[in-house]
Structure 1
Amino acid sequence: MTEPQMTQPDLRIRAALPAPLKTVHEALTDPAALRVWLTEHAHVDLPGGTYQFWGPTTPDGAEPHQRLLHADEHTIRFAWTVGGVETTAQFDLAEDEDGTLVTLSQTDLPSFQEVISDTAGARGAIQTFWTLAIANLADYLDGRDLTPRCDFTSAELHASVVIDAAPDAVFDSMTQPEQIRQWVGAHVDVEPYVGGRFAMGGFELDQAGARFLEFEPGRGAVLRWADGMTETWELEGSEGKTRLTVTHSGFDTTNPPYPGWAGWLSGLAGLRRHLERPGARSIWRGLEVAGLPAGMMADDQV
């Protein structure tokens, strides 16, 4: 099944995944694999039939909204209606020195400004949905534990991960700008003390930022964002490992901040890989988002 090529996408994500192209293609097209790393439900019949996925951890995922447009050994393209708007998404696969280069592109998505102004609806969570999904795909292919997914039907934004590193190392990686840049791939400015600021993109781009209400090295921290949302980090060490629990609260529970929460979960996947694979290159090779402010991303990390 073949239909015309995509128009100019609003989102393009590139990642190098640790497996041969054929293995990555199987992970993208095997329903059993999709139900592990992507979402709860999947129905795939290629090359000419069906490519669908849905469930609580898919935006607007109460039922399947995808329609297959094209599939071969290097490309999967499908229409995906999200929040009543039909978009086009495409996976492209190419051989890479680190395994397989995966490029995810998608059209008809809101701009970065629309997402952060909370006017984008379900489509606003697509970018962070895909970054988390691709991070989990990388760990699935690598035989590693996966990071919890975002439940788009729940107002409880709470997740725990176990990291094979001591609490002090985890805390430093979350509060030292140079380390954050390595696992987030973005510029972040931090004033590491009670009352200090934490700004994604740096103080110039995010002048208000968040402020630390609590700051206990090796144990945890509490941040309050300008809109009143509170973020809590709790670190508990045992046998050289750390259970990190992150909770978001203080938001409008009728409209949870899913884009930011899915982004944090994606970041946790990067934090785990950064600490458990010291010296390993980031999987990310590029991120293009319509309206993303210049200078926000760390170009040497994506």
Structure 2
Amino acid sequence: MTQPLILCVRAKAGLDEARQALTDPKALNQWLGEHSTVDLPGTFEFWGRCIPEGDAPHQRVLAYDGHTLTLGWTLGGEETTTEFTLVSEGDDSTLIKLTQSHFDYAEAVGNSNIRGVLQTFWALALANLVDHLEGRELTTRPDFTSAVFESEALIDAPIAQVYSSLTDSAKATAWFGYPVDIDLRQGGRFAMGGFDAGPGVEIVELVENRKMSMDWGPVGISTWELAESGGKTRLTFVMSGFDESNPPYGAWLGWLSGVAALRRYNELPDWQITV
């Protein structure tokens, strides 16, 4: 059995607000799934196109005490355990901890089981939960019924600043929360984990302040483009060239959760990453 996945985020909201966002069906439908049914301590279900294997609800409540909610979630033919814990840090700050069993990094890299999406699925969901609690527009939500990977985000910062955040190794490492090394030139390399971990992937197209494409092999080609929009920056992100019969949802959600962090990094003066 693998070690449980643990993710933490901090929201500028009180404990009661965080609890409501987690347990109110209308709130859940805004930041998590399209559909939900909640009647605690007996029922907590979510489903829809934004949820892996979301054709129907596959969750059951294992425990709930007002601060911790523990679910059994059947995914990929096995029941996993998902746990939310809310920790008050004062009247206007709550730490939200997510613990998830049955995440295997090898399944994520190999795209061999839907459970491989769990890390990036929850990273994006928690980012959306924080934005919901803080009254910010959500960056995006996934669609597990589609093999078209294209998304947009409007970032309240000038193009040059956003471009630098995307292409400077130190800045990309800061907002992504993981070492990133970039040899910034067409034909250069982009390395998640840094060049010490391997050579990375090739940058196949680069236009200063506008566009970068990277070739990830079987996972496909990822491309982001920047455009000015009323003093802000519109970022369009696309993945293409992968096997559409087995879309790399985990990789796609990893980029989407990264874009959510990129927005906060550029827009919030007191931004800090929480993992």
Determine the C-alpha separation between the residues in 2 that align with 1:199 and 1:228: 15
1:261 corresponds in structure 2 to: 252
Is 2:138 aligned against 1:156?
A: no
Look up the SS of the partner of 2:172 in the other structure: helix
Residue 99 of structure 1 deviates from its aligned partner by 0.7
Matches within 5 A, 1:20-99: 20-47=14-41, 49-96=42-89, 99=93
Unaligned runs of 5+ in 2: none
Aligned with 1:214 (options 205, 215, 222): 205
Whether the aligned pair in 1 keeps the contact of 2:169 and 2:180 (CA below 8 Å) is yes
Determine the C-alpha separation between the residues in 2 that align with 1:168 and 1:176: 12
Residue 118 of structure 1 deviates from its aligned partner by 2.1
Whether the aligned pair in 2 keeps the contact of 1:31 and 1:43 (CA below 8 Å) is yes
Determine the C-alpha separation between the residues in 2 that align with 1:175 and 1:42: 39
Residue 9 of structure 1 deviates from its aligned partner by 5.0
Give the TM-score of the pair, scaled to structure 2.
Answer: 0.96
Determine the C-alpha separation between the residues in 2 that align with 1:21 and 1:279: 21
Residue 248 of structure 1 deviates from its aligned partner by 0.1
Whether the aligned pair in 2 keeps the contact of 1:162 and 1:244 (CA below 8 Å) is yes
Whether the aligned pair in 2 keeps the contact of 1:17 and 1:99 (CA below 8 Å) is yes
Determine the C-alpha separation between the residues in 2 that align with 1:74 and 1:94: 7
1:227 corresponds in structure 2 to: 218
Given residue 219 of structure 1, which amino acid in structure 2 is its aligned partner? R
Over residues 245-301 of structure 1, what are the superposed CA-to-partner deviations in whole Å (9 max), with x where a residue is unaligned?
00000000000110010111100100000001134222x1x3xxxxxxxxxxxxxxx
Is 2:191 aligned against 1:199?
A: yes
Matches within 5 A, 1:85-164: 85-96=78-89, 99-109=93-103, 111-119=104-112, 121-164=113-156
Over residues 104-149 of structure 1, what are the superposed CA-to-partner deviations in whole Å (9 max), with x where a residue is unaligned?
111123x212310222x11111111100000000000111110111
1:291 corresponds in structure 2 to: none
Given residue 165 of structure 1, which amino acid in structure 2 is its aligned partner? A
1:242 corresponds in structure 2 to: 233
Whether the aligned pair in 1 keeps the contact of 2:218 and 2:243 (CA below 8 Å) is no
Determine the C-alpha separation between the residues in 1 that align with 2:219 and 2:95: 39
Given residue 224 of structure 2, which amino acid in structure 1 is its aligned partner? W
Whether the aligned pair in 1 keeps the contact of 2:2 and 2:102 (CA below 8 Å) is no
Over residues 82-102 of structure 1, what are the superposed CA-to-partner deviations in whole Å (9 max), with x where a residue is unaligned?
011101111011112671111
Residue 223 of structure 1 deviates from its aligned partner by 1.2
Determine the C-alpha separation between the residues in 1 that align with 2:245 and 2:217: 19
Whether the aligned pair in 1 keeps the contact of 2:47 and 2:57 (CA below 8 Å) is yes
Residue 150 of structure 1 deviates from its aligned partner by 1.5
Determine the C-alpha separation between the residues in 1 that align with 2:142 and 2:271: 26
Residue 228 of structure 1 deviates from its aligned partner by 6.2
Whether the aligned pair in 2 keeps the contact of 1:13 and 1:105 (CA below 8 Å) is yes
Determine the C-alpha separation between the residues in 2 that align with 1:197 and 1:157: 23
Given residue 40 of structure 2, which amino acid in structure 1 is its aligned partner? L
Among all aligned residue pairs of Structure 1 and Structure 2, give the percentage whose two residues are the same amino acid: 46
Q: Runs of 4+ in structure 1 displaced over 4 angstroms? A: none
Over residues 7-37 of structure 1, what are the superposed CA-to-partner deviations in whole Å (9 max), with x where a residue is unaligned?
9852111111111111101100000000000
> Number of aligned pairs?
274
